[in-house]
A and B are shown apart, each in its own frame.
Chain A
Amino acid sequence: MSYVPIGPIHPGLKEPLRIKLKTEGERVVDAEVDLGYFYRGAEQLARGKPWQKVAYLAERVCGICSDAHPHTLIEGLERIVDCEPPLRAQFSRVIMGELNRIHSHLIANAIWFLAVEHETLGIYNLNTREKVMDLLEMISGNRVLYSWNIVGGVRMDFKESHLKKILDNLAEVESEVYRYRKMFKTGALLGLRSKDIGKMTKEEAIEVRAVGPTARGSGIKFDWRTKHPTYVDHFDFKPIWRDECDNYARVMMRFDEILESIKIVKKAVDELPDGPIRKECEIPRGSVDYRYEAPRGELAYIFETAKHGIIKEITIRTPTIMNLEACVRYMFKDSPTIADAIAIYQTIDPCIACTERVVIVDENGNRQDFRGVHTVLRNLKPFKSKKKDR
């Protein structure tokens, strides 16, 4: 029995975190993670600020899903006033959200391929991602942080040339992703590194509440997009899932989701309605619990506002919190080698920047109550919607 510490800075990791593996020879029997290298206190900063400022802060919780965070916050705020943005704005949000998902999944797969030392596919994936980044930059003006959503609509409108470029670039991305998917499916060495490694059964996934592609790779057929009003009304979206429960399923899931997202964007561009992109909304006092499917899984914003949209309490529940638990508890269990442990860790697409939290403990060891969620949930009124109930 010996311990292998990995991190905080390690060639296999892209973000600082410490993994302590308990090993018997090469076989991993147990693992422990040690977080805290990324803590900035975003929730605490958000308290007492007007929503206009919090939207920028939410964007900077995570730079990879930087559309999902403000998207959730803003749609949550709209939910308080029951203000429905114009149809063109809703479609623009879908386009931006899906482009963000495509680039996030491409970089996740690229990093997995680099972690198993298959540099060809890793670099190919990164290169394809640049095409999506070009689109994002063309539409919003920035490669990473878009500031796209605003209460009542979106900030900017598409031009005709933008829509044409989106379709052109996505056609290229689609054919390339099909090619990489085939390379991954038929590659013998990749199969050895991915099939039957990092197993997590459906029951285990339910027990640790795994979310997103990690859960859907284990056969859970759930996606928050099936409950999102725009997706329900205008896109007949079906969640994708696989039942292999291993690394192969999770990497394949991401490729399939990219293809599905491309379909959604194409449909949205074709049917993009005319009209205004923004309408006026005033945010009153209220509280809300809103969830959205970020690239990594369920993202929840639970918050309470005071008059004029000042954020009183806020709690952000990000997907990696649960997925990291799933990874440490179940996936590492039968990892045959230490190299595979790093590959398994990369398949859950961890985002440590989202995950950092603190618990305040006084000198007697008593935990201070974590105040955010409890106060908001106590005041939460059931939400009545004209649309399908969420």
Chain B
Amino acid sequence: MIKEFIRKRSIHVCLVCTGGCNGCDIEVAALLSQRYDLEQYGIYYHNNPRESDALLVTGTVAKQWQEKLVEFYNKVPEPKAVVAIGACALSGGIFQQESDKVGAPVSDVIPVDAEVPGCPPRPAEIAIAVLKYVPPTLASYRRKI
């Protein structure tokens, strides 16, 4: 019970870029600045899958990532949540025109809990999505088993 309560208030996120244009990645990096200050909401940003609670996935799933992303997902300890960010991750965006290069959407490869549309979405929208959808997903884990 306590564990669930605490877990909702300290979310470690890991950013995985799977081949977009970097636009979404720098918007996630912008969240670190004092103006948005992710850490005051209890979100800690680092790129280590084995310690994280939530994966932020950006980009069209490029060829190299199509198997690796699943491996990656499996490395994240349960309970976990996945947030897909940007048009690329949701549909392939502008790169979907000749579809042999990209494996988007991300939801075809791994289960996705929240989607943030936009090319790129604003940093505040990303923060809202993480705050609103990740804690319930983490909390619902015990109820599942």
Contacts and interface: CB of A to CB of B under 8 A. Distances in A.
Contact of B30 (A10, A11, A41, A126): A126
Contacts of A66: 21, 23
Nearest to A7: B47
B33 A144 contact: no
Interface in A32-72: 36-42, 44-45, 56-57, 59-64, 66
B63 interface: yes
A126 B24 CA distance: 15
Interface residues of B, number: 42
A286 B47 CA distance: 46
Contacts of B98: 41, 44-45
B49 to A, nearest CB: 6
Nearest to A57: B94
Interface stretch (A13-21, A177-185, A207-215, A217-225): A13-21
Contacts, number: 122
A129 B36 CA distance: 13
Contact of A127 (B33, B60, B64): B33
B113 interface: no
A127 B35 contact: yes
A60 to B, nearest CB: 4
Contact of B21 (A13, A60, A130, A133): A60
B29 A14 contact: yes
| Interface of A (DSSP majority class) | loop
Centre residue among B23, B32, B35 by max chain A CB count within 10 A: B23
B33 A130 contact: yes
Interface residues of A, number: 42
A145 interface: yes
A126 B33 contact: yes
B95 interface: yes
A37 B72 CA distance: 14
B140 interface: no
Interface string A328-355: 0000000000000000000000010100
A41 B101 contact: yes
Contacts of B109: none
B128 interface: no
Interface in A107-132: 107, 110-111, 123, 126-127, 129-130
Contacts of B63: 36, 39
Interface string B57-100: 00110111100100010000000000000000000011101100
B119 A40 contact: no
A40 B17 contact: no
Nearest to A16: B17
B117 interface: no
A62 B35 contact: no
Contacts of B15: 9, 14
A41 B95 CA distance: 8
B22 interface: yes
Contacts of A37: 17-19, 62, 64-65
Given A63-B23, A66-B23, A130-B33, 18 more contacts: A11-B46, A11-B48, A12-B47, A14-B25, A14-B29, A16-B18, A36-B62, A37-B18, A37-B19, A38-B59, A39-B19, A39-B62, A40-B95, A44-B98, A44-B101, A60-B21, A63-B22, A129-B33
Interface of B: 14-27, 29-30, 32-35, 46-49, 59-60, 62-65, 68, 72, 93-95, 97-98, 101-102, 119-120, 122
11 contacts: A16-B19, A37-B64, A41-B98, A44-B101, A57-B94, A63-B20, A123-B34, A126-B34, A127-B33, A145-B119, A351-B22
